[in-house]
Amino acid sequence: MKPQSTDEIAIPSRRAALIMGAALPAGLLLARAATAHADASFGSSETKAMQFLEALESLQTEFFACAAASAAFDGMEERERDVFAAIATQDRQHSEWFRQARRKYGVAEHSGAYSPNLSRSRPVTVYTFQMGSFETRAKLIPLAISIKDTAVGVYHSFVGSVGNGEVAQAFAALAGVEGRHSAALHEIGGTQSLPNAFEAVISPKTAYNRLQSTGFRPEAL
């Protein structure tokens, strides 16, 4: 299921902004990307992180755009719709941050040439979700929580692995927004979002294993 355009996602209300908490404005993140520049501390770990997390944001953007245009969304309470609409908008802004940051740091979108069957063409990424995922609230919210919890964990993994302080700071800010997304989804789903004192750190490989059924295929592993 695909919405006709991600531009059609409803702008979240002020109430949604309060539900999500004081998320770092996307404009500030984009401004950081605009002033970024390559330096001696930007190496292979930062390149891998940029490529992997951009692929992860692409998956999330697709999922929450579909969710915000689904039958399940239409059947939710206003407060629940506000949460999904806010997440859909902010994930789209995160994807834009990565596009701008890659350009400023000189990072390629993909890790290398694609050459199956001696062809250099790269197939278009197509995401697939479990049948019926967008039909009911009972199916949509648990899947949304699973995707967000995985995203939060792998963001924290990359925050601790990159050596460039500017990049680590930006990733930490994005991780904070992802964490608020997760907490809001857990709250509307009636589940405990933080059973432990700290959010779990999830390796890129574990994240891939959890999400590969959706068509998530990051090259930077």
Q: What tokens were used for 21?
A: 């908490």
| pTM attached to this predicted model | 0.81
Of residues 173 and 31, which shows the higher confidence score? 173
Side-chain half-sphere exposure of 67, counting CA atoms within 13 A: 32
Which pLDDT does position 64 carry in this prediction? 97
Which pLDDT does position 37 carry in this prediction? 52
Cα dist. 47→19, 154, 207 in Å?
33, 15, 18
Structural domains in the chain, sorted by start: 26-34+42-214 (1.20.1260.10)
Closest CA to 206 of 126, 150, 130, 140: 150
Which pLDDT does position 172 carry in this prediction? 92
Give pLDDT tens digits for 199-221.
Answer: 689 999 999 999 999 999 888 77
Give pLDDT tens digits for 54-80.
Answer: 999 999 999 999 999 999 999 999 999
CA 190 – CA 204 distance, rounded (Å): 28
C-alpha radius of gyration, the chain, whole number? 17
Q: What tokens were used for 147?
A: 């995707």
